[in-house]
Structure 1
Amino acid sequence: MNKPDFLFLLLGASYSSFRFAKEFVKNDLKSEFKYDLELNVSHDNPELKQFDIYPDDNGKKYFDLTDKEVVEILCRKNKIPVWIDIAVSKSDRKKTTFKLLCAGRYSDDKNEFYYTDGGSGPFGIKSPNHPIGYKEGTKFKLKKK
């Protein structure tokens, strides 16, 4: 997958996640987006030959990235993680921050992407983490930066 196509998917998933989060949170979410990124959450076996795997990514985290920085980090040899969970995680007066949790398996085969059937490629739209004691139907505040 080339970088412009991946950026298109990232922006679409961000907007979907942004809209979904509004159902749960009291915060006034801003349309300026930033990203916190966690690589190789799946800790895949480097012996898998079907995918590109980067064991050096274990434990790597990046914070306060732009969409273009995310694309630069995740697009490797025109391959991207086969799944990326995206959820709103923080909000302040200027921006909304998404957490991206990424598989360690990289592919350029769209059939390998977990959420292709839903139209979001590798992106799984998740709700913000609910606080302890969350009651369904009630909105909660996200932490601020």
Structure 2
Amino acid sequence: MNKSDFLYLLLGTSYASFKFAKRYISNDLVPEFRYDIELNISNDDPNLTQFTIYPEDNGKKYFNLEDKEVVAILCRNNKVPVWIDISVSKSDNEKTILSLLCAGRYTSDKNELYYNESGSGPFGIKSPNLPYGYKEGIKFKL
């Protein structure tokens, strides 16, 4: 996947995640996005041969990134993580922070991307972290 295609998917799923989060949270969200990334949370076996794996990514986290910085980190040699869970995690009056939890397996094969059939490539839109005791239909603050 080239960087411009990845950026397109990132921006589209960011907006979709933003809209989805409004069902759950009472915060006033603004459509100015920044990203927190957690790499290789799947802790994949470096001996896998079907995918490219970067064991040096274990435990790496990045905070408050702009979209182009995300692309530079996650799109490597036209390969991207096979799945990236995206969700709203924080907000203030100036920006909405989206969390990107990333698999450690990278591929250039679109058929290997978990959410490709739904049109979002590697991105799976998730709800914000629900608070303890969450009751369906009652909005909460982040």
Work out the CA distance in 1 between the residues paired with 2:118 and 2:15. 15
Which residue in the other structure is 1:44 paired with?
A: 44
Instruction: Name the SS for the 2:71 alignment partner.
Output: helix
Which residue in the other structure is 2:61 paired with?
A: 61
Instruction: Name the SS for the 2:8 alignment partner.
Output: helix
CA RMSD of aligned residues (A): 0.4
| Deviation by residue 1:42-86 (Cα, 9 ceiling, x = unmatched) | 000000001000000000000000000000000111100000000
| Deviation by residue 1:68-110 (Cα, 9 ceiling, x = unmatched) | 0000000111100000000000000100000000000000000
Which residue in the other structure is 2:34 paired with?
A: 34
Work out the CA distance in 1 between the residues paired with 2:131 and 2:67. 27
Identity rate, percent:
72
Size of the aligned set, in residue pairs, is 142
Does 1:124 find its partner at 2:124? yes
* Normalised TM-score (structure 2): 0.99
Does 1:16 find its partner at 2:16? yes
Work out the CA distance in 2 between the residues paired with 1:44 and 1:119. 25
Instruction: Name the SS for the 1:62 alignment partner.
Output: strand
Does 1:79 find its partner at 2:79? yes
Structure 1: runs of 5+ lacking an equivalent: none
Which residue in the other structure is 1:108 paired with?
A: 108
Instruction: Name the SS for the 1:26 alignment partner.
Output: coil
One-letter code of the match for 1:62?
Answer: Y
